[in-house]
Amino acid sequence: MSVVTVEGLRKTYGDLVAVRDIDLAVEVGEVFGILGPNGAGKTTTVECVAGLRAPDAGRIEVLGLDPATDSDRLHEQVGVQQQQGALPPKLRVGEALKLYAGFYRDAEDPRRLAATLGLTDRWDAPYRVLSGGQRQRVSIALALVGRPRLAILDELTTGLDPAARRETWGLIRSMRDQGVTVVLVTHSMEEAGELCDRVALIDHGRVVAAGTPARLAHEHGGGTRMSFRPTGTIEDALLTGLPSVRRVVRDGDRLAVTGDPEAVVDVVLALDRVGVRPADLEVASGTLDDAFLALTGHRFHEAEDGGPR
């Protein structure tokens, strides 16, 4: 069952086309990544999904509701964590959680939520003194306090140190384990690979590919690469004849083989049959970065400057 369906979404700001044509389907219970460089149209897309902006064209359905016309009912069931959403500096953590809990029909107990998110000892701390990681946890708490069926998290870990990032990822996994569907907007390939069940790669307001991170990396990321120094002489044909091998390149005394993930085992076994061992074996698989490059013709981080968010 789809929690979010987006078809042919288009959104412009004046002459600026933020979202050109986007289709998405987010299934119940998954962590779905919307991945792309800054300015690709990710935030605009989720703002339309969350009912914060009206699309210029296209159809959106979230939990069976149209966000543009039914935003009140939508906001009961969808928790949103936006970029740059701060709180009044002197508002205390506990006050914020209790206040927001009061906005929802069936809210989570603020104390318990604070405990889950490791905020109990910061209950009386004003927002101003919180660390970046703690602020993010408050932000997640406010997105979850209404017991949403869908949580939209936009650039959740940007600006966090690696430890706080890992911690936040753990929280998102536990959210999913509790049955909350998560839409995660990120420009971090690592985060998407780590957390997401499926991702949509977005560039210039379009979805360039969608699928599980492993599949995208494999299908578009150039496959699995291995490189080794054979301990004996072999013909290329021994390896190129294997169905899982795509390409064999010689580089001095080393061989570089590209192919499917199974190629690694196939090559090692084929070498073994002729009594040769692959010395100094190195294996690398395709990455989402490689996939992005192959799909768009430009590197992920080159696309970072300019453009609408």
Partner 1 sequence: MSATGTVARHRGAFRRLLAVEARLAWREPVALVWGVGLPVVLVLIFGNISAFREVLPGSGGLTVLDAYLPVLVMVVLAMLGLVGLPVPLATYRELGVLRRMSTTPVHPSWVLGAQLVVNLAMAAVAVTLVLGMGMALGAQLPSQALGFALALVLATATLFTLGLCVAAMARTARAAAAVGNALFFPLAFFGGLWLPQPVMPEVLQRISGYTPTGAAVQAMTSTVQGSFPSLASLLVMGGYAVVFAVVAVRTFRWE
Question: Considering only CA atoms, which of 74, 59, 42, 305 is closest in space to residue 184?
Answer: 42
The minimum distance between CB 48 and partner 1, in angstroms, equals 13
Q: Interface with partner 1 includes 4 (CB under 8 A)?
A: no
Give min distance, CB of 8 to partner 1, in A: 24
CA atoms within 13 A on the CB side of 174: 12
Nearest to 122 by CA among 105, 107, 110: 110
Nearest CA to 1 out of 64, 74, 72 is that of 64
By CB under 8 A, residue 120 contacts partner 1: no
Q: Is residue 110 a contact point for partner 1 (CB under 8 A)?
A: no
Q: What is the 3-state secondary structure (H, E, C) of 55-116?
A: CCEEEEEECCECCCCCHHHHHHHEEEECCCCCCCCCCEHHHHHHHHHCCCCCCCCHHHHHHH
Q: Which of 25, 52, 160, 283 binds partner 1 (CB under 8 A)?
A: 52
Q: How far apart are the first and last CA of the chain?
A: 30
Residues touching partner 1: how many (CB under 8 A)? 27
Is 68 a binding residue for partner 1 by CB under 8 A? The answer is no
Strand partners, 31: 182
- Residue 123 lies near partner 1 (rule: CB under 8 A): no
* Of positions 33, 146, 213, 286, contacts partner 1 by CB under 8 A: 146
CB of 221 to partner 1, least distance (A): 35
245-251 and 31-35 beta bridge pairing: unpaired
Q: Is 138 in the site for partner 1 (CB under 8 A)?
A: no
CB of 7 to partner 1, least distance (A): 23
Min separation Cβ 53 and partner 1, Å: 10
Considering the rule CB under 8 A, would residue 142 count as an interface residue with partner 1?
yes
- Could you give the string, one character per residue 69-108, with x where binding to partner 1 holds by CB under 8 A and - elsewhere? ---x--xx-xxx-x-xxxxx-xx---x--xxx-xxxx---
Query: What's the min distance (Å) between Cβ of 87 and partner 1?
Result: 6
| Least CB distance to partner 1 at residue 180 (A) | 15
| Other CB atoms within 10 A of residue 102 CB | 10
Let me know: does 120 contact 114? Beta carbons within 8 Å: yes
CB 207 within 8 A of CB 276: no
Q: Which residues bind partner 1 (CB under 8 A)?
A: 50, 52, 72, 75-76, 78-80, 82, 84-88, 90-91, 95, 98-100, 102-105, 142-143, 146
